[in-house]
Structure 1
Amino acid sequence: MATTRLSDVIYGPLFLPTTIQRIAQLSRIRNSPIVSTDAELQRFANGPGDLVQMPFWNDLTGNSNVSTDDPAQTATPNKLTQGQDMARKIRRNNGWQSANLVASMLAEDPLDAVAQLIAEYWVREEQRIMGEQMRGVFASAGMAGNVLDVASEDGAVSPVNLDAEIAANAYALLGEYGTTLSAVLMHSRVFYNLRAARAIEKFKDPATGLDFDMWDDKIVYVSDQCPREAGTTSGFKYTSYLFGNGAIGYAEATGEGGPKKPVEIDSVAAAGNGEGVETVWYRRHWVMHPRGVSFSGTPASASGVTDAELANGANWTRVYDPKLVRMVAVVTNG
């Protein structure tokens, strides 16, 4: 009987688009209003190099002139100014040997099964890396005004849990723009506390058919990548993130900006004492950037930015007005 091998299943022209599609379908974050894509960001991502530069026009300021009929009075026009938002491409890869995918070989459609397994892995990675970015962004000095910390350091005795009143104070950090916040990313402990309080509602998106949890009219996403830190005396402090539509820009890099070989099979005939071992390597380059907070640091390696560098607040600089950065962090005990 013929044996199905990785090289039979993972054929680049078929496998790569299948997996990319699965990743996009499975990622609840990327299917949310939090994440947006546009042609300009995609063009930058597809270009060569590591740095993604995103110039923007600053908002118009100043009061209007009072019109007169005096020809001697001359108005002075204001000038348009630009700012610069910068992101770094995230370059990651991982490999799996066929021994780890044996069960998939028994599937009715091996291509679909292996693509699903690898897609699920990358969805988890995207979410984990986004968590590191959020740590860094809200640890930066320029984002201090977008953080509401109401947690008790003695959380076991006098916990302060997330509720509608605290949320209202968090929205107020953005002033009139607080009404644009549409989603919240929270730790599972915070989520279960809200569910126990009967504050979580169910919602079905008519466009995608996906079921979502809702809280305070916000779509809820749950991730234990959200920070959980021990209090000074007892208990824990949890950070939740509130987002407006399009707060995160996303683009999958292809062409010159993407990996030269996104999918590659490595076959070692001598391994396994001559039985042979096959490994599939999957490589991705993508941009996932919080709009309005520039990654101004310089990675230690030219090959790519690390998790630790993304989580370092010193590497991030706010370039938008604080109220126009569509993100707020809230720290509570649950």
Structure 2
Amino acid sequence: MATTRLSDVIYGPLFLPTTIQRIAQLSRIRNSPIVTADAEIQRFANGPGDLVQMPFWNDLTGNSNVSTDDPAQNATPHKLTQGQDMARKIRRNNGWQSANLVASMLAEDPLDAVATLIAEYWVREEQRIMGQQMAGIFASSGMAGNKLDVASEDGAVTPVMLDAEVAANAYALLGEYGQTLSAVLMHSRVFYNLRAARAIEKFKDPATGLDFDMWDDKVVYVSDQCPRVAGSTSGFKYTSYLFGNGALAYAEATGGGGPKKPVEIDSVASAGNGEGVETVWYRRHWVMHPRGVAFTGTPASASGVTDTELATGTNWTRVYDPKTVRIVAVTTNG
């Protein structure tokens, strides 16, 4: 029987769209209402360079005028003003050699198996990088009004847990907009504590048939990328993130704004003492950006923004009113 090789599986016209589809299908966060994609962001993402500029109109302000019948009284109109949100494209790649994928290539459908394996990696990577962004924006001074830290420093002795009262105080940070928060991303320890308290409910989406966990009418996403920090004396402090619909903008860069060769096979004939080794390289450029907090830092390298730069607070500037940035961070002991 002939041996299936990477070059047999990684056939560009078939493999690339298959993998892109798998990434989209497997990402629970990207399939949630907290992530939105629109034509304008996609257009920017598909353009050259790595800076994505997103102008917006500021809200109208000022009290209304009291109408009179005096022709000598002239009202002064208010100006329409614009602001600008900014994001950086995330440019990443990774490669896998044939030995890493051998089990997948023995599957009944090696194209689907390899595409799914690589897609699972990129879903985890997207979530990890989003964690770096959250760390960065909440280290920014402009986001102080969107943070609630009620954790005890001696958390093992007097723990403050995530509960309905803490949640209400977190929602209140956004005032009337607190009612728009619809999802929560939390560490697994926080999730299991809530489940032990029987605060987690199951919900089946009638449109997709997928099962979701719900807490306090919020869809729950669990990731150990959420911060877990040791207290000063004992225990740990955990940060959970609350999101409103459309809090994150997303676009996969294609065309001139995407990688020149998204998928490439590298074959080294001399490797393995002449047996040969094949490596598949997968490259992606994408935008996943917290709306209303502009990335105003300048990356050290023109090739792209790093994890460290994403996690640095001074690289982020809030450009929306704090209450309309639809993200809140709440820190508890579990």
Quick one: distance in 1 between partners of 2:215 and 2:70? Answer: 57
Matches within 5 A, 1:77-226: 77-226=77-226
- How far the C-alpha of 1:207 sits from its partner, in A, is 1.4
Partner of 2:281: 281
Quick one: distance in 2 between partners of 1:289 and 1:209? Answer: 28
* 1:219 aligned counterpart, secondary structure: strand
Quick one: distance in 2 between partners of 1:14 and 1:23? Answer: 15
Quick one: distance in 2 between partners of 1:205 and 1:130? Answer: 25
CA offsets 1:63-85 (integer angstroms, 9 cap, x no match) = 00111111110111111000000
* 2:123 aligned counterpart, secondary structure: helix
- How far the C-alpha of 1:209 sits from its partner, in A, is 1.5
- How far the C-alpha of 1:293 sits from its partner, in A, is 0.2
Moved over 2 A (4+): none
* 2:279 aligned counterpart, secondary structure: strand
The unaligned stretches of length 5 or more in structure 2 are none
- How far the C-alpha of 1:170 sits from its partner, in A, is 0.3
- How far the C-alpha of 1:196 sits from its partner, in A, is 0.3
CA offsets 1:157-190 (integer angstroms, 9 cap, x no match) = 0000000110000000000000000000000000
Q: Bigger CA drift: 204-213 or 143-152? A: 204-213
The unaligned stretches of length 5 or more in structure 1 are none
Q: Bigger CA drift: 77-86 or 206-215? A: 206-215
* 2:22 aligned counterpart, secondary structure: helix
- How far the C-alpha of 1:206 sits from its partner, in A, is 1.2
Matches within 5 A, 1:3-18: 3-18=3-18
RMSD after superposition? 0.5
- How far the C-alpha of 1:22 sits from its partner, in A, is 0.2
Normalising to structure 1: TM-score of the pair?
Answer: 1.00
Partner of 1:324: 324
Normalising to structure 2: TM-score of the pair?
Answer: 1.00
Quick one: distance in 2 between partners of 1:53 and 1:177? Answer: 25
Quick one: distance in 2 between partners of 1:321 and 1:65? Answer: 24
Quick one: distance in 1 between partners of 2:305 and 2:209? Answer: 36
Quick one: distance in 1 between partners of 2:288 and 2:193? Answer: 30
- How far the C-alpha of 1:210 sits from its partner, in A, is 1.2
* 1:177 aligned counterpart, secondary structure: helix
Quick one: distance in 1 between partners of 2:17 and 2:165? Answer: 45
Quick one: distance in 2 between partners of 1:208 and 1:307? Answer: 34
* 1:21 aligned counterpart, secondary structure: helix
Quick one: distance in 2 between partners of 1:251 and 1:207? Answer: 23
- How far the C-alpha of 1:299 sits from its partner, in A, is 0.5
Partner of 1:271: 271
Quick one: distance in 1 between partners of 2:146 and 2:51? Answer: 26
CA offsets 1:18-52 (integer angstroms, 9 cap, x no match) = 00000000000001111000000000000000100
CA offsets 1:243-298 (integer angstroms, 9 cap, x no match) = 00000000000000000000000000010000000000000000000000000000
* 1:104 aligned counterpart, secondary structure: helix
Quick one: distance in 1 between partners of 2:324 and 2:172? Answer: 13
Partner of 2:240: 240
**Same amino acid, percent of matched pairs:** 91
Corresponding pairs, count: 334
- How far the C-alpha of 1:208 sits from its partner, in A, is 1.5
- How far the C-alpha of 1:106 sits from its partner, in A, is 1.1
Quick one: distance in 1 between partners of 2:47 and 2:162? Answer: 43
- How far the C-alpha of 1:3 sits from its partner, in A, is 1.4
CA offsets 1:125-150 (integer angstroms, 9 cap, x no match) = 00000000000011100000000000
Quick one: distance in 2 between partners of 1:209 and 1:29? Answer: 16
Quick one: distance in 2 between partners of 1:105 and 1:85? Answer: 44
- How far the C-alpha of 1:2 sits from its partner, in A, is 1.7
